[in-house]
Structure 1
Amino acid sequence: MEERREQEKPLSPFPPEELISHRRQRCLKCCGCSAALLLILAVTILILMLTIFNVKHPTLEITSVKIDGLDSLSNDTNNNNNNTNPTLAAGVSIKNPNAASFKFHEAATEVYFDGTLVGEGRAPAGEAGPRRTRRVDVLVDLVVGRLVGVSRFESDFERGGLEISVYTRVKGVVKVTNVIKRSFVVNITCGMNVDLRSKVVQDRSCTL
Protein backbone atom coordinates (compact mmCIF):
# COMPACT_ATOMS: atom_id res chain seq x y z
CA MET A 1 0.00 0.00 0.00
CA GLU A 2 2.81 2.37 0.90
CA GLU A 3 4.59 1.47 -2.33
CA ARG A 4 1.47 2.44 -4.30
CA ARG A 5 1.24 5.82 -2.52
CA GLU A 6 4.87 6.54 -3.27
CA GLN A 7 4.25 5.76 -6.94
CA GLU A 8 1.23 8.13 -7.00
CA LYS A 9 3.30 11.13 -5.76
CA PRO A 10 3.95 13.62 -8.65
CA LEU A 11 7.49 13.67 -9.76
CA SER A 12 9.34 17.06 -10.05
CA PRO A 13 10.20 17.94 -13.67
CA PHE A 14 13.67 18.98 -12.48
CA PRO A 15 16.09 17.27 -10.14
CA PRO A 16 16.71 19.26 -6.92
CA GLU A 17 19.95 20.77 -8.20
CA GLU A 18 18.39 21.90 -11.52
CA LEU A 19 15.33 23.30 -9.71
CA ILE A 20 17.53 25.49 -7.51
CA SER A 21 19.49 26.64 -10.55
CA HIS A 22 16.27 27.41 -12.45
CA ARG A 23 14.90 29.50 -9.60
CA ARG A 24 18.19 31.33 -9.30
CA GLN A 25 18.14 32.19 -13.02
CA ARG A 26 14.58 33.51 -12.75
CA CYS A 27 15.57 35.64 -9.76
CA LEU A 28 18.57 37.03 -11.63
CA LYS A 29 16.37 37.89 -14.62
CA CYS A 30 13.86 39.69 -12.41
CA CYS A 31 16.62 41.59 -10.64
CA GLY A 32 18.19 42.50 -14.00
CA CYS A 33 14.88 43.80 -15.37
CA SER A 34 14.28 45.83 -12.21
CA ALA A 35 17.78 47.29 -12.34
CA ALA A 36 17.34 48.19 -16.02
CA LEU A 37 14.01 49.94 -15.31
CA LEU A 38 15.54 51.86 -12.42
CA LEU A 39 18.46 52.90 -14.62
CA ILE A 40 16.11 54.10 -17.37
CA LEU A 41 14.05 56.00 -14.79
CA ALA A 42 17.17 57.61 -13.31
CA VAL A 43 18.45 58.68 -16.74
CA THR A 44 15.02 60.11 -17.63
CA ILE A 45 14.87 62.10 -14.39
CA LEU A 46 18.44 63.35 -14.96
CA ILE A 47 17.57 64.51 -18.49
CA LEU A 48 14.45 66.30 -17.21
CA MET A 49 16.43 67.96 -14.42
CA LEU A 50 19.03 69.19 -16.91
CA THR A 51 16.46 70.44 -19.46
CA ILE A 52 12.84 71.13 -18.59
CA PHE A 53 13.18 71.35 -14.80
CA ASN A 54 16.44 73.32 -14.91
CA VAL A 55 14.95 76.82 -14.61
CA LYS A 56 17.42 79.54 -15.59
CA HIS A 57 17.36 83.28 -14.96
CA PRO A 58 15.88 85.35 -17.84
CA THR A 59 17.93 88.34 -18.99
CA LEU A 60 17.26 91.85 -20.29
CA GLU A 61 18.92 93.92 -22.99
CA ILE A 62 18.22 97.51 -23.97
CA THR A 63 18.58 97.30 -27.73
CA SER A 64 17.73 100.87 -28.69
CA VAL A 65 17.30 104.31 -27.12
CA LYS A 66 15.85 107.38 -28.84
CA ILE A 67 15.01 110.81 -27.40
CA ASP A 68 12.61 113.23 -29.09
CA GLY A 69 11.66 116.78 -28.16
CA LEU A 70 15.08 117.95 -27.01
CA ASP A 71 14.37 121.34 -28.56
CA SER A 72 12.09 122.07 -25.60
CA LEU A 73 15.12 122.00 -23.31
CA SER A 74 16.55 125.19 -24.79
CA ASN A 75 13.18 126.89 -24.51
CA ASP A 76 12.61 125.81 -20.92
CA THR A 77 16.01 127.02 -19.78
CA ASN A 78 14.97 130.52 -20.83
CA ASN A 79 11.28 130.79 -20.01
CA ASN A 80 10.85 127.87 -17.56
CA ASN A 81 7.92 126.49 -19.55
CA ASN A 82 7.29 122.91 -18.40
CA ASN A 83 4.26 122.15 -20.59
CA THR A 84 6.26 120.33 -23.28
CA ASN A 85 8.42 117.43 -22.20
CA PRO A 86 10.88 115.41 -24.28
CA THR A 87 10.29 111.67 -24.51
CA LEU A 88 12.67 108.74 -24.32
CA ALA A 89 11.76 105.58 -26.26
CA ALA A 90 13.65 102.41 -25.28
CA GLY A 91 13.51 99.02 -26.93
CA VAL A 92 13.89 96.26 -24.33
CA SER A 93 14.49 92.60 -25.19
CA ILE A 94 13.48 89.93 -22.66
CA LYS A 95 15.39 86.71 -23.29
CA ASN A 96 13.91 83.49 -21.88
CA PRO A 97 16.38 80.53 -21.95
CA ASN A 98 13.91 78.05 -20.41
CA ALA A 99 11.79 75.26 -21.87
CA ALA A 100 8.70 76.89 -20.30
CA SER A 101 7.23 80.35 -20.93
CA PHE A 102 8.23 83.39 -18.89
CA LYS A 103 5.12 85.41 -18.01
CA PHE A 104 6.03 88.91 -16.90
CA HIS A 105 4.23 91.89 -15.40
CA GLU A 106 4.57 95.48 -16.57
CA ALA A 107 8.12 96.45 -17.48
CA ALA A 108 9.05 99.56 -15.47
CA THR A 109 11.69 101.99 -16.77
CA GLU A 110 13.19 104.91 -14.87
CA VAL A 111 15.51 107.62 -16.22
CA TYR A 112 18.02 109.35 -13.93
CA PHE A 113 20.15 112.45 -14.42
CA ASP A 114 22.96 112.91 -11.90
CA GLY A 115 21.12 110.58 -9.50
CA THR A 116 17.80 112.46 -9.82
CA LEU A 117 14.73 110.67 -11.15
CA VAL A 118 13.61 112.70 -14.19
CA GLY A 119 11.13 110.31 -15.86
CA GLU A 120 9.20 107.06 -15.51
CA GLY A 121 7.43 104.79 -17.98
CA ARG A 122 5.85 101.36 -18.26
CA ALA A 123 5.33 98.74 -20.93
CA PRO A 124 2.39 96.29 -20.86
CA ALA A 125 2.63 92.79 -19.37
CA GLY A 126 3.33 89.91 -21.71
CA GLU A 127 4.94 86.54 -22.22
CA ALA A 128 8.26 85.34 -23.62
CA GLY A 129 7.81 81.88 -25.12
CA PRO A 130 10.08 78.88 -24.46
CA ARG A 131 13.63 79.72 -25.51
CA ARG A 132 12.40 82.89 -27.18
CA THR A 133 13.18 86.61 -26.95
CA ARG A 134 10.33 89.07 -26.55
CA ARG A 135 10.79 92.75 -27.41
CA VAL A 136 8.82 95.45 -25.61
CA ASP A 137 8.85 99.19 -26.23
CA VAL A 138 8.90 101.57 -23.29
CA LEU A 139 7.99 105.28 -23.62
CA VAL A 140 9.18 107.64 -20.88
CA ASP A 141 8.17 111.30 -20.50
CA LEU A 142 11.15 113.30 -19.24
CA VAL A 143 10.11 116.06 -16.84
CA VAL A 144 11.97 119.18 -17.91
CA GLY A 145 11.43 120.83 -14.55
CA ARG A 146 13.38 118.05 -12.86
CA LEU A 147 16.15 118.17 -15.47
CA VAL A 148 16.58 121.92 -15.13
CA GLY A 149 16.49 121.62 -11.35
CA VAL A 150 19.69 119.52 -11.29
CA SER A 151 22.66 121.74 -10.38
CA ARG A 152 24.91 120.47 -13.19
CA PHE A 153 22.26 120.87 -15.90
CA GLU A 154 23.47 124.29 -17.13
CA SER A 155 27.10 123.20 -17.46
CA ASP A 156 26.13 119.98 -19.26
CA PHE A 157 23.70 121.87 -21.48
CA GLU A 158 26.40 124.34 -22.51
CA ARG A 159 28.74 121.42 -23.18
CA GLY A 160 26.09 119.97 -25.47
CA GLY A 161 25.57 116.63 -23.77
CA LEU A 162 23.58 115.05 -20.95
CA GLU A 163 24.81 111.97 -19.12
CA ILE A 164 21.77 109.92 -18.11
CA SER A 165 21.12 106.39 -16.90
CA VAL A 166 18.17 104.19 -17.84
CA TYR A 167 17.01 101.52 -15.39
CA THR A 168 14.53 98.82 -16.43
CA ARG A 169 12.98 96.19 -14.14
CA VAL A 170 10.77 93.23 -15.06
CA LYS A 171 9.04 90.82 -12.66
CA GLY A 172 7.71 87.46 -13.84
CA VAL A 173 7.28 83.72 -13.34
CA VAL A 174 8.57 80.64 -15.16
CA LYS A 175 5.97 77.91 -14.59
CA VAL A 176 7.10 74.40 -15.58
CA THR A 177 4.25 72.59 -13.80
CA ASN A 178 1.69 73.52 -11.16
CA VAL A 179 4.27 72.53 -8.56
CA ILE A 180 7.53 73.60 -10.19
CA LYS A 181 7.60 77.37 -10.77
CA ARG A 182 10.06 80.16 -10.02
CA SER A 183 9.64 83.90 -9.69
CA PHE A 184 12.25 86.27 -11.09
CA VAL A 185 13.06 89.95 -10.90
CA VAL A 186 15.20 90.92 -13.90
CA ASN A 187 16.80 94.33 -14.22
CA ILE A 188 19.36 96.24 -16.24
CA THR A 189 20.97 99.69 -15.94
CA CYS A 190 22.47 101.52 -18.91
CA GLY A 191 24.49 104.71 -18.70
CA MET A 192 24.71 106.89 -21.81
CA ASN A 193 25.50 110.34 -23.13
CA VAL A 194 22.86 112.27 -25.10
CA ASP A 195 24.30 114.66 -27.68
CA LEU A 196 21.94 117.66 -27.61
CA ARG A 197 23.08 118.89 -31.03
CA SER A 198 22.82 115.68 -33.05
CA LYS A 199 20.16 114.14 -30.73
CA VAL A 200 22.15 110.89 -30.83
CA VAL A 201 22.69 108.58 -27.85
CA GLN A 202 26.40 107.77 -27.46
CA ASP A 203 28.73 105.75 -25.23
CA ARG A 204 26.05 103.36 -23.97
CA SER A 205 27.27 101.00 -21.24
CA CYS A 206 24.99 98.47 -19.52
CA THR A 207 25.23 96.32 -16.42
CA LEU A 208 22.85 93.54 -15.30
Structure 2
Amino acid sequence: MLESERFKKIQQNRKCFAYIAIFVVFQIIVLSIFGATVMKIKTPNVRLRSVTVQSLNYSSSGSNSPFFNMTLIAEVSVRNKNFGHFKFDPTKANVTFGGVIVGQGDIIKARAKARKTKRMNVTIEVNSDGISDGAKLGTEVSSGNVTLSTLARVRGKVTLMKMMKKRKTAQMNCSMIVNLPNQLVYDLACK
Protein backbone atom coordinates (compact mmCIF):
# COMPACT_ATOMS: atom_id res chain seq x y z
CA MET A 1 0.00 0.00 0.00
CA LEU A 2 2.83 2.30 0.69
CA GLU A 3 4.00 1.91 -2.90
CA SER A 4 0.55 2.75 -4.36
CA GLU A 5 0.14 5.83 -2.13
CA ARG A 6 3.51 7.08 -3.27
CA PHE A 7 2.52 6.45 -6.90
CA LYS A 8 -0.75 8.42 -6.37
CA LYS A 9 1.20 11.30 -4.82
CA ILE A 10 3.54 11.40 -7.84
CA GLN A 11 0.52 11.36 -10.19
CA GLN A 12 -1.08 14.25 -8.27
CA ASN A 13 2.16 16.26 -8.43
CA ARG A 14 2.39 15.66 -12.19
CA LYS A 15 -1.24 16.75 -12.66
CA CYS A 16 -0.63 19.87 -10.60
CA PHE A 17 2.50 20.69 -12.61
CA ALA A 18 0.61 20.10 -15.88
CA TYR A 19 -2.20 22.45 -14.79
CA ILE A 20 0.31 25.12 -13.80
CA ALA A 21 2.12 24.75 -17.14
CA ILE A 22 -1.16 25.03 -19.09
CA PHE A 23 -2.12 28.12 -17.05
CA VAL A 24 1.27 29.77 -17.72
CA VAL A 25 1.05 29.07 -21.48
CA PHE A 26 -2.50 30.46 -21.53
CA GLN A 27 -1.36 33.62 -19.72
CA ILE A 28 1.51 34.09 -22.17
CA ILE A 29 -0.91 33.82 -25.11
CA VAL A 30 -3.36 36.30 -23.54
CA LEU A 31 -0.59 38.79 -22.71
CA SER A 32 0.87 38.48 -26.22
CA ILE A 33 -2.49 39.26 -27.81
CA PHE A 34 -3.03 42.12 -25.35
CA GLY A 35 0.43 43.52 -26.07
CA ALA A 36 0.00 43.26 -29.82
CA THR A 37 -3.33 45.08 -29.89
CA VAL A 38 -3.82 47.34 -26.89
CA MET A 39 -0.24 48.20 -26.05
CA LYS A 40 0.76 49.11 -29.61
CA ILE A 41 1.28 52.87 -29.65
CA LYS A 42 0.04 54.62 -32.79
CA THR A 43 0.76 58.14 -34.02
CA PRO A 44 -2.24 60.45 -33.41
CA ASN A 45 -3.87 62.28 -36.35
CA VAL A 46 -3.91 66.08 -36.60
CA ARG A 47 -6.39 67.60 -39.03
CA LEU A 48 -8.15 70.84 -39.89
CA ARG A 49 -11.87 70.21 -39.47
CA SER A 50 -13.05 73.61 -40.65
CA VAL A 51 -11.74 77.09 -41.41
CA THR A 52 -13.76 80.30 -41.37
CA VAL A 53 -12.71 83.77 -42.49
CA GLN A 54 -13.28 86.25 -39.67
CA SER A 55 -11.99 89.37 -41.43
CA LEU A 56 -10.58 89.98 -44.89
CA ASN A 57 -8.98 92.85 -46.76
CA TYR A 58 -7.55 92.49 -50.28
CA SER A 59 -6.77 94.37 -53.48
CA SER A 60 -5.97 93.05 -56.92
CA SER A 61 -5.68 96.26 -58.91
CA GLY A 62 -4.83 99.87 -58.59
CA SER A 63 -1.54 101.64 -57.95
CA ASN A 64 -0.63 99.26 -55.12
CA SER A 65 0.69 95.79 -55.72
CA PRO A 66 -1.82 92.99 -55.05
CA PHE A 67 -2.20 91.94 -51.41
CA PHE A 68 -4.42 90.15 -48.93
CA ASN A 69 -4.78 90.32 -45.16
CA MET A 70 -7.14 88.01 -43.30
CA THR A 71 -7.91 86.47 -39.96
CA LEU A 72 -8.75 82.78 -40.11
CA ILE A 73 -10.37 80.73 -37.35
CA ALA A 74 -9.29 77.12 -37.81
CA GLU A 75 -10.78 74.20 -35.89
CA VAL A 76 -7.89 71.78 -35.35
CA SER A 77 -8.56 68.25 -34.15
CA VAL A 78 -6.09 65.83 -32.58
CA ARG A 79 -7.47 62.28 -32.82
CA ASN A 80 -5.86 59.87 -30.39
CA LYS A 81 -6.31 56.21 -31.40
CA ASN A 82 -4.36 54.85 -28.43
CA PHE A 83 -5.54 53.28 -25.18
CA GLY A 84 -3.57 55.93 -23.26
CA HIS A 85 -3.69 59.73 -23.33
CA PHE A 86 -1.60 61.90 -25.70
CA LYS A 87 -0.18 64.97 -23.98
CA PHE A 88 1.23 67.40 -26.54
CA ASP A 89 3.38 70.50 -26.33
CA PRO A 90 2.46 73.96 -27.65
CA THR A 91 3.37 74.44 -31.30
CA LYS A 92 2.73 76.67 -34.31
CA ALA A 93 0.41 76.10 -37.25
CA ASN A 94 1.95 77.71 -40.33
CA VAL A 95 -0.07 78.94 -43.30
CA THR A 96 1.86 79.10 -46.57
CA PHE A 97 1.25 80.56 -50.00
CA GLY A 98 3.48 79.14 -52.72
CA GLY A 99 5.87 77.74 -50.11
CA VAL A 100 6.24 81.07 -48.27
CA ILE A 101 4.93 81.37 -44.70
CA VAL A 102 2.22 84.04 -44.67
CA GLY A 103 0.72 83.39 -41.24
CA GLN A 104 1.05 81.54 -37.95
CA GLY A 105 -1.29 80.45 -35.21
CA ASP A 106 -0.65 78.96 -31.79
CA ILE A 107 -1.78 75.43 -30.98
CA ILE A 108 -1.91 75.35 -27.20
CA LYS A 109 -0.56 72.66 -24.91
CA ALA A 110 -3.33 70.15 -24.26
CA ARG A 111 -4.19 66.50 -23.74
CA ALA A 112 -6.22 64.17 -25.94
CA LYS A 113 -7.80 61.46 -23.82
CA ALA A 114 -7.56 57.80 -24.72
CA ARG A 115 -9.53 56.91 -27.89
CA LYS A 116 -10.93 60.49 -28.06
CA THR A 117 -10.55 63.55 -30.28
CA LYS A 118 -9.42 66.90 -28.85
CA ARG A 119 -10.79 69.90 -30.75
CA MET A 120 -9.50 73.44 -30.43
CA ASN A 121 -9.84 76.74 -32.26
CA VAL A 122 -6.71 78.41 -33.58
CA THR A 123 -6.69 82.05 -34.70
CA ILE A 124 -4.30 82.68 -37.59
CA GLU A 125 -3.37 86.12 -38.87
CA VAL A 126 -2.49 85.84 -42.56
CA ASN A 127 -0.97 88.53 -44.78
CA SER A 128 0.86 88.58 -48.08
CA ASP A 129 3.64 91.00 -47.07
CA GLY A 130 6.43 88.41 -47.33
CA ILE A 131 5.53 87.12 -50.81
CA SER A 132 8.10 88.05 -53.44
CA ASP A 133 6.35 86.36 -56.40
CA GLY A 134 3.99 89.22 -57.27
CA ALA A 135 2.87 87.64 -60.55
CA LYS A 136 1.46 84.52 -58.91
CA LEU A 137 -0.05 86.57 -56.09
CA GLY A 138 -1.64 88.97 -58.59
CA THR A 139 -3.08 86.11 -60.66
CA GLU A 140 -4.67 84.40 -57.67
CA VAL A 141 -5.98 87.57 -56.01
CA SER A 142 -7.49 88.84 -59.28
CA SER A 143 -9.16 85.45 -59.86
CA GLY A 144 -10.71 85.75 -56.40
CA ASN A 145 -9.39 82.37 -55.20
CA VAL A 146 -6.21 82.09 -53.13
CA THR A 147 -4.70 78.65 -52.50
CA LEU A 148 -3.19 78.25 -49.03
CA SER A 149 -1.56 75.34 -47.22
CA THR A 150 -1.51 74.72 -43.48
CA LEU A 151 1.33 72.81 -41.86
CA ALA A 152 1.86 71.80 -38.25
CA ARG A 153 3.97 69.32 -36.33
CA VAL A 154 2.50 68.32 -32.96
CA ARG A 155 4.94 66.63 -30.57
CA GLY A 156 3.96 64.88 -27.39
CA LYS A 157 3.93 61.73 -25.29
CA VAL A 158 1.50 58.84 -25.31
CA THR A 159 1.17 57.34 -21.82
CA LEU A 160 -0.24 53.84 -21.36
CA MET A 161 -1.22 52.69 -17.87
CA LYS A 162 0.92 55.42 -16.28
CA MET A 163 4.08 53.40 -16.90
CA MET A 164 4.71 53.17 -20.64
CA LYS A 165 5.58 56.50 -22.25
CA LYS A 166 6.52 56.99 -25.87
CA ARG A 167 7.15 60.21 -27.77
CA LYS A 168 5.14 60.63 -30.96
CA THR A 169 5.02 63.39 -33.56
CA ALA A 170 1.83 63.97 -35.52
CA GLN A 171 1.96 66.02 -38.71
CA MET A 172 -0.73 68.08 -40.39
CA ASN A 173 -0.56 69.05 -44.05
CA CYS A 174 -3.78 70.59 -45.35
CA SER A 175 -4.62 72.69 -48.39
CA MET A 176 -7.58 75.00 -48.96
CA ILE A 177 -8.88 77.63 -51.32
CA VAL A 178 -10.08 80.95 -49.91
CA ASN A 179 -12.72 82.66 -52.04
CA LEU A 180 -11.98 86.34 -51.45
CA PRO A 181 -15.23 88.02 -52.65
CA ASN A 182 -17.46 85.66 -50.63
CA GLN A 183 -15.03 85.20 -47.70
CA LEU A 184 -15.47 81.42 -47.84
CA VAL A 185 -13.06 78.52 -47.53
CA TYR A 186 -13.63 75.49 -49.72
CA ASP A 187 -11.74 72.42 -50.99
CA LEU A 188 -10.25 71.86 -47.53
CA ALA A 189 -8.24 68.64 -47.82
CA CYS A 190 -5.73 67.09 -45.43
CA LYS A 191 -3.11 64.46 -46.19
Q: Aligned-pair RMSD on alpha carbons?
A: 2.4
Partner in structure 2 of residue 73 of structure 1: 58
1:68-102 Cα offsets, whole Å, 9 max, x none, are 322x222997557x9x9421211111111111111
- Answer yes or no: is 1:206 the counterpart of 2:158: no
2:42 maps to 56
Higher-RCO chain (CA-CA 8 Å, sequence separation at least 6): 2
Within 1, Cα distance between the matches of 2:112 and 2:62? 43
The residue type equivalent to 1:185 in the other structure is T
| Bigger radius of gyration among the two | 1
Q: Which residue of 2 aligns with 1:196?
A: 180
CA deviations 1:126-145 (Å, max 9, x no partner) are 10111111001111111331
- Contact preservation (8 Å) 1:116, 1:150: no
Task: Pick the aligned partner of 2:138 from 141, 154, 159.
Answer: 154
Aligned length: 189
Matching residue of 1:111:
95
Normalising by structure 1, we get a TM-score of: 0.80
Q: Distance in 1 between matches of 2:35 and 2:105?
A: 38
In 2, are the aligned partners of 1:123 and 1:139 still within 8 Å (CA)? no
Q: Does 1:46 align with 2:29?
A: no
| Greater share of residues in strand | 2
Give the TM-score taking structure 2 as reference length: 0.87
Does residue 30 (structure 1) correspond to residue 16 (structure 2)? The answer is yes
Residue aligning to 1:11: none
- CA 1:79–1:31: 2 relative to 1, 3 Å: same
What residue ranges of structure 2 are gaps of 5+ in the alignment?
Answer: none
Structure 1 residue runs without a partner (length 5+):
1-13
